[in-house]
Structure 1
Amino acid sequence: MVDSPFDVEIRVGEVLEAEAFPETDKPKMVKLWIDLGEEGEVQSAAQLGYAHDPEELPGKQVLCATNLGSVRIAGFKSEALTVGVPDEDGHPVLVEPSREVPLGGVLF
């Protein structure tokens, strides 16, 4: 990881794989495998199924917080917090770069 003056480090990644995560007690959870370029691959569990079908996510660039530690959710190790904002119904919608950018880039 690069030195950052901020407590939270948000990086650009590309979703490699996504699948439904029905084992959790939260509805519409999705398992994500995200490529951060030179930083490697991370896993993330996100409640995105309301606004995004898992099948449409591979290939998308996303923003994720990568230095918050990890947590196990129903046996799945979530290592990054995928960033989203609520839609008009309050469901998370992914935040994406407006054009393709290098993987692993840090938001500033």
Structure 2
Amino acid sequence: MKFSTKAALLSALLFPGLGQALVLKRPKRALCFIVPALLAMLWLLRAAYTAASRIVDQITAGTLPLDPVLIQQQIEATNTGPGGNLAAAVLLVAWLGSILDALFVKP
């Protein structure tokens, strides 16, 4: 298997930029993918944790019954604003960019 294929698989299946760092030995280029992806993922995880905490607090307070339909509606009503869409887009671009970089960009 070619090094570029191994790097693309690592970047696709584990985390963006890992293929550049571990297989292709390009640490600076790897950081161009790892840092934005990590920041975007942390932002999305924080938003999900905040929404889940709010729903759990409502359930424990008794204001939201243990009805799956009502809980689903509460989850759908959660608004992360434009930051959520931006973070998801950054994560997607970093992931796809790292795969394409590993496959097609020559050293």
TM range (shorter): under 0.3
> Which structure: greater strand fraction?
1
More helix by share: 2
Bigger Rg, which one: 2
Q: Which has the higher contact order (CA 8 A, sep 6+)?
A: 2
